[in-house]
Amino acid sequence: MNINDYVNYYKNVSFSEYTWNDMDNLVCAALAYLPLGKKKIDGYFLPEKNFKKKNNLSVALLYDLLDSTRYKGLELWDYVNLVNDDTQFGAITIRFGEVCYVAFRGTDNSITGWKEDFELGYDFPVNAQKMAKEYLESHIKDNDKVIYVGGHSKGGNLAMASVLEISDNIFKRIRYVYNNDGPGFLRDIFNSKGFKRLDKKLKMFLPENSVVGILLNNTNKYQVVKSNEIGFRQHDLFSWLCFGGFLINGKLSIFSIKARKVFNNWLERQNLDRRKKLVEGFFELIRLTGVKNFDELKLSNINRLIANINIDELSKKILKEAIIIFSK
């Protein structure tokens, strides 16, 4: 079973009959990827019916939810999808029954989005993390008594970042914070009181061949899950396998273990200023090409760009591998 199978099997089973579980988290996290365009919607909304015609997994999932008993009365609130020269940020609030799930979107294909991902390696908070905190603070209502916060990929990092310094009034109502294969934090943030408080409510999931969730410093209380895909494509949460409401246990691959060691050891050897110069130098070269997203960049062009940066060969190799991984 995957997300779609889970929804179809349990769509007429209420939460009183089968309680909230980790698959309901994945269902809500997937809705952050609804293709509603680069805009902002304040308040309650539902897409037009012709929206169903779009060939998108999140859209198909949404309409299965709307036809279900389990998610009866589902409401979408306060959609944001911002992409500009400095920030890529997306979020949506989902309400049904007593549940309020704040979902943060992962990285899109914009150059800005990928640059911000790399900024996580030397800066905190980046713009998207600031916006995540502000979004959570401003969109939780007094009558939201059962709150979940989560996201996939960078969205998982944003979910954690949004809760780090959240008020006790909101924090005590949060049942779980979900990081679905998202990167961690710089060491000082990881060691902070905020993260120690967050860690008590944090649930993290990694596919066996994780290449994103293994990066930077993160909780050691994670579950590895099986996928029906191979390699980098296991990052797709629609590929994660479950038995009922339980994600099927897997084992972190040798590739992921080695990749985590190589990337994180390399980062530890670079001071923050050096990391910043490396990232800014690379993305400045991309900016000069005039492309707006990674779909327009060919791997051969990326290799030429990296070759023009004045860094050591190991750093060039790490940067190439990181680009390949993140662009999958």
The CA distance from 167 to 276, in Å, is 31
Residues 42 and 106 in one domain: yes
User: What is residue 228's predicted lDDT score, i.e. its pLDDT?
Assistant: 96
Residues 246 and 317 in one domain: no
Residues 38 and 159 in one domain: yes
Residue keyed to tokens 């691959």: 253
Higher pLDDT, 328 or 72: 72
pLDDT, tens only, 208-224: 999 889 999 999 999 99
Q: Which of 34-48, 84-98, 311-325 has the lowest mean pLDDT?
A: 311-325
User: What is residue 164's predicted lDDT score, i.e. its pLDDT?
Assistant: 97
CATH number of the domain bearing residue 203: 3.40.50
Helix, coil or strand: residue 270: coil
User: What is residue 199's predicted lDDT score, i.e. its pLDDT?
Assistant: 97
User: What is residue 36's predicted lDDT score, i.e. its pLDDT?
Assistant: 85
- In a domain? residue 89: yes
Residues 153 and 18 in one domain: yes
Residue type, 278: L
Other CB atoms within a 10 A radius of the CB of residue 76 amount to: 21
Residues 147 and 279 in one domain: no
Q: Out of 253, 288, 312, pick the residue that ends a domain.
A: 253
User: What is residue 80's predicted lDDT score, i.e. its pLDDT?
Assistant: 96
Between vectors from CA 276 to CA 270 and to CA 280, what angle results, nearest 5°? 135
User: What is residue 113's predicted lDDT score, i.e. its pLDDT?
Assistant: 81
Residues 39 and 166 in one domain: yes
- CA dihedral of residues 222, 224, 229, 232 (deg, nearest 10): 50
Residue from 233, 192, 94 nearest 150 by CA? 94
Mean pLDDT, residues 128-147 taken together = 97
Whether the bond between 125 and the residue before it is cis, its omega within 30 degrees of 0, is yes
In the predicted model, what is the mean pLDDT of the chain?
89
Q: How many separate domains does the chain show?
A: 2
Q: For residue 149, is pLDDT > 80?
A: yes
Q: Out of 253, 279, 298, pick the residue that ends a domain.
A: 253
- In a domain? residue 221: yes
Helix, coil or strand: residue 313: helix
Q: How many CA atoms lie within 13 A of 316 on its CB side?
A: 12
Q: For residue 325, is pLDDT > 60?
A: no
Residues 146 and 45 in one domain: yes
- In a domain? residue 258: no
- Give the residues across from 92 on adjacent strands: 103
User: What is residue 282's predicted lDDT score, i.e. its pLDDT?
Assistant: 76
H-helix or E-strand spanning residue 67: none
Residue keyed to tokens 């502000």: 134
Residue 34 contacts residue 54 (beta carbons within 8 Å): no
- In a domain? residue 205: yes
Confidence (pTM): 0.91
pLDDT level of residue 102 (50, 70, 90 thresholds): very high
pLDDT, tens only, 40-82: 899 998 776 556 556 688 988 998 998 899 999 999 999 999 9
Q: Out of 219, 253, 287, pick the residue that ends a domain.
A: 253
Residues 198 and 294 in one domain: no
The CA distance from 68 to 122, in Å, is 44
pLDDT, tens only, 270-317: 899 988 887 887 777 777 777 777 666 665 566 777 777 777 777 777
Residues 239 and 160 in one domain: yes
Higher pLDDT, 263 or 166: 166
Name the token pair of 278. Answer: 């490396």
Mean pLDDT, residues 105-121 taken together = 85
Burial class of 80 by CB neighbour count within 10 A (0 to 12, 13 to 18, 19+): buried
- In a domain? residue 263: no
pLDDT, tens only, 229-281: 998 889 999 999 999 999 999 999 999 998 898 888 888 888 999 888 878 87
Range of the structural domain that residue 146 is part of: 3-253
- Which residues 6+ apart lie within 8 Å of 150 measured at CB? 25, 28, 29, 101, 102, 103, 104, 156, 159, 176, 177, 178, 179, 180
- In a domain? residue 122: yes
Residues 139 and 281 in one domain: no
Q: Which of 175-179, 196-200, 274-278 has the lowest mean pLDDT?
A: 274-278
Residue from 195, 200, 236, 201 nearest 217 by CA? 195
- Give the residues across from 249 on adjacent strands: 225
Q: For residue 201, is pLDDT > 70?
A: yes
